[in-house]
Structure 1
Amino acid sequence: MITSQSRGAVVATASALLVTMAGTTVPTPLYSIYAGRLGFTGLTVTLLFAVYAIGVVAALTAFGRLSDEIGRKPVLLAALACAGVSAVLFLLPQSLPMLFAARIVSGLSAGLMSGAATAAIVDLFPAERRAVGGALAVGVNTGGLAAGTLIAGIAADLSSAPLVVPFAVHLGFSILAFCAVWRFAPAPVDAGPLRIRPRKLRVPSSIRGAFVRAVLAGGSAFAVAGVLTAVSALFLAQHIGLSSHALAGFVVCLVFAGMAVGQIAARRFAPRPAMAVGCGGLAVGAAILGVALGAVSLTALILAAVVSGVSGGLCVNAGLATTVEAVEPARRGEVSSSYFAGLYLMLAVPAIGVGALSAGVGLQTSGLVFACVVALVSAVVGLVEAVSVKRSSPVFEAVG
């Protein structure tokens, strides 16, 4: 049973996670505006997206254990401060170096927030409801990603200042979230002094096999989301002839909203069967994405976003259950950060690859290559999980 004090802490932490992650996708539907004003190419757009993911991985890798050492609250506050700084950088006069700086700081905010907030929310739930805490954390994370891109897209179509209003709103919410965490998040218990000592993240040997499968499965979902986030606005404008920023935001929103829905669905399955089902769905979603790119179909693109999102939600939640929730609290921040570092690395690398390949063979062909790779990785991981579940079932053991 969660006490009223813990409930306030959960709400404050979840709100901080929501606001921070929403801020990271605010630029997504605006890339076409930046491209038009600053004259950069599709490759530049994917690099802008990639430096954000690299910032996330750098923060998770260097400071992923920090919340285990000094407590969750200081790290949450630092993440919100970075989110606010990122919003300010986006509000300053536009230039490519400034955009890169803003995206890097945004990545740092997400990296600090993802591991610490996930661990904090899981900590606040009693042991018997730890899975609920994990599902809430990942659901809020992906829900924030969905909200940021949708709201920014709508604002871009309705506002006369599309590159100002979304970031001003995000700055305001970042300040409110900072105040909420300061007020309601529990103070660190027996925390050491604030010493920034980056250390290599480690995963306990008891969960390494599950960890690798979890990262490959959830990372495949993040890879699809990453590529759609990086290039959907340009694909819609250049190949389908639809320049609506709200539509570009909506497509990406569907992926992350689907992931949030997948978290709810995942609670009806044991983690390993859920991962097997999710991987199968990701393979199907990647195939549909290939059709969307080859046939230049908006309908197929939307369907691919939905299928990939829901399937990815199953995989990410199952991965969280078999890794972060399976270790003792003293290692939870480190394992959570390691898990998300793997996911964001798989989010960044394909986006860079698609952007670089598109410079030579075009966006459609590079996207088709990407879809094939994702389908293959998802199918292999799903098959391994399905076979493993079958072997561990009582029926299989009885037959064997």
Structure 2
Amino acid sequence: MPPGPSSLALSRSSRQPFRFGRPAATWLQALILLTFMAASSAPTPLYSIYRANWGFSAITLTIVFAVYAISLLLALLMLGSLSDHIGRRPVIIGALALNAAAMAVFMTASAVPLLIAARLLQGLATGAATSALAAGLMDLDRQRGPLINSVAPMIGLALGALGTSILVQFAPAPMQVVFIVLLAAFAVQALAACFLPETSSKRRGALAAMLPTVNVPRQAWRALLLIAPMDVAAWALGGFYLSLGPTLAGRVSGIHAPVIGGLMIFALTVSAAIAVLLLRGWAPQRMLVFGASALTAGIAVTLAGVHGGAVSLFFLGTSLAGVGFGLGFLGALRTVLPTAQPHERAGLMAAFYILSYLAFSLPAIGAGVLTHAVGLIAATDYYGAALIVLAAAALIGARLFPPGRKKAAA
């Protein structure tokens, strides 16, 4: 059987001078994805400092957070399939340059409008990179691609939150130093990305591909609908933690410092990464079932910790919910990705991440509005109850209509 377009593109580009081989290219793209996610969570522990210095409300905080997610969505809609047409490498390099510019704006931000501008640029950069990196990793390593696409974001989110908390606690200029470090990392990675092999053959229609459309292959719709409740529940949980989570952790623990928010996000995302690494051999259906169950139990334990003022229960529930987050996300990814052909991967990944980031942003905005109306604890209760309902729906769907069945989930 002759090699497909992606294989041909890889073999041709790998013969060119000064191109990384397949293993080095895989790890470089994994590192870039990790750094993008670290940058996305880096501002979260700083929100308490921004609020203290600039005096804004919980609604403003969720708007700042949502600007990032919404701009990311727009980038996915317009640029999600672009790397299928012009190649993975130029999209990755351009996204790295744009995110470096976002870090520069963060460094000089002195008011909410500049913070919003930085998050806007960061969202555009991350959206442009996400589908290209996900598809590129699948091109390079079909077996480990889904694992890297699941673990790298979790580890990146954990390192970004915890690393920022440590720098805020011990380094000078807390609102600048983390972004200086990230700016340097993106600059080095942009240079290294110039030597990535191209794994996607160029195709016509790049301008048409930039029209806001969702390119889901016909054969992928059933799988996408199957995993939707799990994916929405997982990312809605992540959106709450990355926006209002540090405020809630401070309320429960009585420690109103950036480090407590960083530790909370670290507990959520590291438990997710560990669960994925240890249980990655499971079948996708088993991951979805166990992920939905762990998410439900974790949210229940977290709410018990909130109402009992028990920090240990709060972090135990957060870690358990993180296990559900990680397994649910990997199970969803492994259910959806095999349904696409190589030239359809970037478009499908764009659709998958559009679903994920809509769940990441819109519920968090609602939580901010609800917090303003009924208070943080009551809003947390309502939010947690909604996520439990979604997780229950995911559990039922995974049991009744497992990925391997041919019967449609009508």
TM-score by length of 2: 0.90
Aligned twin of 1:306: 319
Distance 1:226 1:178, change over 3 A: same
| Structure 1 unmatched runs, 5+ | 394-400
Aligned twin of 1:273: 286
Whole-Å separation in 1 of the counterparts to 2:403 and 2:283: 13
Alignment of 1:47 onto 2:47: no
Whole-Å separation in 1 of the counterparts to 2:287 and 2:183: 37
Return the match for 2:186 from 167, 174, 198. 174
Partner SS for 2:144:
helix
Structure 2 letter corresponding to 1:117: L
Structure 1 letter corresponding to 2:211: P
Aligned twin of 1:160: 172
Structure 1 letter corresponding to 2:321: S
Aligned twin of 1:332: 345
Deviation at 1:390, TM superposition (A): 11
Q: How does 1:152-231 map to 2 (within 5 A)?
A: 152-186=164-198, 189-192=201-204, 195=207, 197-231=210-244
Whole-Å separation in 1 of the counterparts to 2:402 and 2:312: 35
Whole-Å separation in 1 of the counterparts to 2:404 and 2:250: 49
Deviation at 1:104, TM superposition (A): 1.2
Aligned twin of 1:245: 258
Count of residues in correspondence between the two structures: 388
Distance 1:176 1:390, change over 3 A: closer
Distance 1:194 1:281, change over 3 A: same
Deviates more, 1:191-200 or 1:285-294: 191-200
Structure 2 letter corresponding to 1:362: G
Q: Deviations over 1:184-230 (max 9, x none)?
A: 34375335586473240121232212202323212211111111111
Distance 1:322 1:236, change over 3 A: closer
Structure 2 letter corresponding to 1:160: P
Whole-Å separation in 2 of the counterparts to 1:23 and 1:93: 16
1:35 and 1:41 in contact (8 A); partners too: yes
| Structure 2 unmatched runs, 5+ | 1-9, 15-19
2:134 and 2:349 in contact (8 A); partners too: yes
Q: How does 1:62-81 map to 2 (within 5 A)?
A: 62-81=78-97
Distance 1:36 1:185, change over 3 A: farther
Structure 1 letter corresponding to 2:392: A
Distance 1:113 1:12, change over 3 A: same
Whole-Å separation in 2 of the counterparts to 1:199 and 1:73: 22
Structure 1 letter corresponding to 2:228: V
Aligned twin of 1:142: 154
Whole-Å separation in 1 of the counterparts to 2:159 and 2:35: 9
Whole-Å separation in 1 of the counterparts to 2:94 and 2:404: 46
Return the match for 1:83 from 99, 122, 130. 99
Deviation at 1:291, TM superposition (A): 1.6
Deviation at 1:174, TM superposition (A): 0.6
Deviation at 1:79, TM superposition (A): 1.4
1:114 and 1:141 in contact (8 A); partners too: no
Q: Deviations over 1:261-314 (max 9, x none)?
A: 232244221111211111111111221222233223322221122111111111
TM-score by length of 1: 0.92
Distance 1:136 1:220, change over 3 A: same
Structure 2 letter corresponding to 1:64: G
Q: Deviations over 1:369-400 (max 9, x none)?
A: 0000000110111112123349969xxxxxxx
